[in-house]
Amino acid sequence: MIPSLDLLYQSESDDTTNMINFMIILKSIVIGFFTGFVMAIPIGPSGIESVRQTLSKGFKAGFKVSLGAVAADVTYFLLISEGLANLLTAHKSTEGIFWIIAGLILCFIGYYSNRKRTSTCHYNAESSKRRSAPFLMGFIITFTNPLSLSFWLTLSGTVLSAWRSFSSFIYYCFVLSLFMGMITWFFALNLMAYKGVKLLNTDKSSKTSKMMNILIFIIGLGFVIFGFVKLFI
């Protein structure tokens, strides 16, 4: 029995649709990965802290900081998807307070890290490992960074909004690939820092780590000043 022309046309149409959907899914994965990779390249406070941890404690500790930072980004993505993060930018005073709190946390991390380095001789290696929480530190630094909130709000209204117009499956393929791209960059960043340590002597790597602590403190101080500007100007 010869199939009707309508069935043939429908079959060809279905094949074409499936091919188009496959290409869109592949496109979402590729573009999402490279978008996340490029987005993560500018080194912020969490990136500085991850490199500092790599220099002082090794690749594993530094990469944990990066994973904590990505976890904070995932949290912001989920909050913004539910519309909860808008509460932080609803009032000018709330945003200013958020900047001040974030700055004070960064100042504390930078100061405490340098102070801890000067008193390392009073603690053994095992005690130091128990006291450190690189993943949590990466999460806190990124989550309390007001720029992270602004970044995800902007991204939600532009790139994410464009992919949201497709199916939910394609949208989440893009989002998952975006986070994988970020993780890949942080892996490469910490690996480069770790390989750099191999080429440097202990004294130079120690000085580099100390300079990064100071840089984190300065960034935090800048956040505090900007927060007060938001509150009173």
Q: What is the pLDDT of residue 127?
A: 42
pTM for this prediction: 0.72
Return the half-sphere exposure (C-beta side, CA atoms, 13 A cut-off) of residue 79: 18
Q: What is the pLDDT of residue 73?
A: 92
pLDDT averages per 10-residue partition of the chain, 233 residues: 50 64 88 90 85 87 94 90 64 72 79 60 43 83 83 78 85 94 94 75 60 78 82 74
Q: What is the pLDDT of residue 186?
A: 94
Q: What is the pLDDT of residue 135?
A: 93
Q: What is the pLDDT of residue 151?
A: 80
Number of CB atoms found within 10 A of residue 37's CB: 19
Helices 92-118 and 202-232, packing angle to 10 deg: 160
Q: What is the pLDDT of residue 173?
A: 93
